[in-house]
Structure 1
């Protein structure tokens, strides 16, 4: 991988993860559900982005894909929890994002995600590892 591509891959994975997490949060707010199946689509999106940057196939690309997918999952769950909490407290979602503490956010995310949701999130990580290599 050339030096420019090696710097571009993490930047693109981060930007793609943030953008996909925003779409995931919007979908969750529109449907009133966690929409954990989006983790699989996030993995496929990461694979597509890494191929577009032409990151060489192999373990490094798989690692970037898994990292981007895990980041997307974490940001989406954080955003869903923050927007729901913001509704209750009367805060805008972006204000609630900054005020939500780690332990409180972690607790609410654990309560919101059931066994089926966790299976979808795990499937997303597996799809990322397979499709990005």
Structure 2
């Protein structure tokens, strides 16, 4: 026996489905914002850790544009992407600053920078205020992305 087509209710939202475009938006938003953060930090010769909060808001916006379903999964993706922004940006800032002294360009320096040395440079470059900005960015990422 055939079933009748389902008629959506007046206030009901249609089901959203993630597509490859959704993933592309998330990846481009993450990498693009991290690159912008590196450029700004190098230009101003500062860490610019407040950019982490803007990155978290940008990722939340990308998740909504990519039609990710609201909920804990989207919040976890927002937190993960925001953490990746912080990781990539700090890696790029350290590589650019240190590589410039050795005569390397940013990409060559980034490929030569090891995780232990990057962690040491991260600890030396970031103050308590920077760590507060990074913690605030994690909270903003979860709240804005859910």
TM over 0.5: yes
How big is the alpha-carbon RMSD for the aligned residues of Structure 1 and Structure 2?
1.1
Aligned: 1:111 with 2:124: yes
User: Is residue 13–residue 64 contact of structure 1 (8 Å, CA) maintained in 2?
Assistant: no
Q: Deviations over 1:37-73 (max 9, x none)?
A: 0000000000000000111111011011001100000
User: How many residues align structurally?
Assistant: 131
The normalised TM-score by structure 2 is 0.86
Aligned: 1:17 with 2:30: yes
Structure 1 spans left out of the alignment, 5+ residues: none
Please give the residue correspondences for 1:54-133 in structure 2 after superposition, counting only pairs within 5 Å: 54-133=67-146
2:49: which partner in 1?
36
CA distance in 2, matches of 1:50, 1:130: 13
- The CA deviation at 1:8 is 4.1
User: Is residue 63–residue 129 contact of structure 1 (8 Å, CA) maintained in 2?
Assistant: yes
Q: Which has the higher helix share?
A: 1
Structure 2 spans left out of the alignment, 5+ residues: 1-15
Q: Deviations over 1:83-125 (max 9, x none)?
A: 0011110000010000001100110011100100000011111
CA distance in 1, matches of 2:76, 2:19: 13
**Greater RCO (CA < 8 Å, at least 6 residues apart):** 1
Structure 1: 4+ residue segments shifted above 4 A = none
